Chains A and B, each alone.
Chain A
Amino acid sequence: MPSDHDKLAVILDRTVAGGDRGYVPGEPLTGVVRWSLGDVHVSFVVRLFWRTEGKGTADSGLADELSFEGMPGSGEQAFVFEGPSGPYSFSGDLVSILWAVEAIASPGKHVARADFVLSPTGKEVKV
């Protein structure tokens, strides 16, 4: 049985400036969404956002969003986001700030996500 990853995936291009999975502020994010959802027309949104995870209440912020309507049941779509300036990827005692590109496809509400690090060094800031 195919996993959700086989049906929908977000693949980020690696960046030269920040190293593997790391992006520096302002650096454009490029990648592709790949999907295989059967013999249906597919709509999906691709969102660039940050979120917090940790002990307290979750917070999040949407940096940008792209919509694709009436796509074939399987295919691949490239995307480009203007690079966000912050907040930087971070981990302290109580909270982590995480950046991701997420694709949500319908029908079926399939979700795929690719996390990445945003900071001047390309590495998560740790306190």
Chain B
Amino acid sequence: MTALPPPTAAVETPRGRPCDNPFRAQRLDALSFVEEAVRLDDVMQVLGGRRYRGALVGPHGTGKTTLLHAVGERLIGHGLSPMPLFMNTDERGTFPARWRVALRRAGRGDALLLDGYGHLPAWARARVRLTARSAGAVVVTAHKRCALPTAARTASSPALLRTLVTELTDDATADRIDCETLWQQHRGNLRDALRALYDLH
């Protein structure tokens, strides 16, 4: 008689290729801004009233960078050329040379999009505001209020996480994922929650 496998035996399924994983980093980076807590029209209206100067403020992983890209796209329609500058994690507390060069070059036709402005030391943030006076727009991201007027406060929710999961996969897959728990586990950080799904897929 052939012995049956134990009921708890793991079923080994072949892992998919990383480049086919719907939660791969490149797909997360390409996600569009989803209007939930913040409407892009409202952000543009606020920025327009402040000579396109403002900060997108919110906790980690709530869509500040995605919103900044969306603002950059809109500014093209206002005749400005986006100049996106990004700060890596290991550059926190420094004033990167490429930022200084770009700030000096920025003119009336340029829209400075400073992702990670909040990580600059205080003296560098003051230098940015001074140097960037001639730029056509200065929009930054920060985790808390800063010297630039707040143009939007980003926030996340389990519903927003589910919307993003659906966009990356489909309704059926999103139904199988407990977005509420996942969102809580990652304290509302959408990026971390979506990254975690890479391993589960």
Contact = CB atoms under 8 A, between A and B. Distances in A.
Interface residues of A, number: 14
A106 to B, nearest CB: 16
A43 B133 CA distance: 37
Contacts of A94: 18
Given A55-B195, A55-B198, A98 B25 contact: no
Q: Which one of A53, A91, A92, A96 has the greatest number of beta carbons of chain B within 10 Å?
A: A53
B195 A54 contact: no
Contact of B25 (A57, A92, A93): A57
A108 interface: no
A93 B19 contact: no
B198 A53 contact: no
Contacts of B21: 54-55
A92 B18 contact: yes
Q: Which one of B18, B25, B29, B199 has the greatest number of beta carbons of chain A within 10 Å?
A: B18
Interface in B7-25: 15, 17-19, 21, 24-25
A16 interface: no
8 contacts: A53-B24, A54-B24, A55-B21, A55-B199, A58-B26, A91-B17, A95-B18, A96-B17
B15 A53 contact: no
A96 B26 contact: no
A56 interface: yes
A122 to B, nearest CB: 17
Contact of A91 (B18, B25, B199): B18
Contacts of A95: 18
A124 B20 CA distance: 14
A80 B19 CA distance: 27
Nearest to B195: A55
Interface in A31-63: 53-58
**4 smallest A-B Cβ distances: which pairs?**
A54-B18, A96-B19, A53-B19, A91-B17
B65 to A, nearest CB: 14
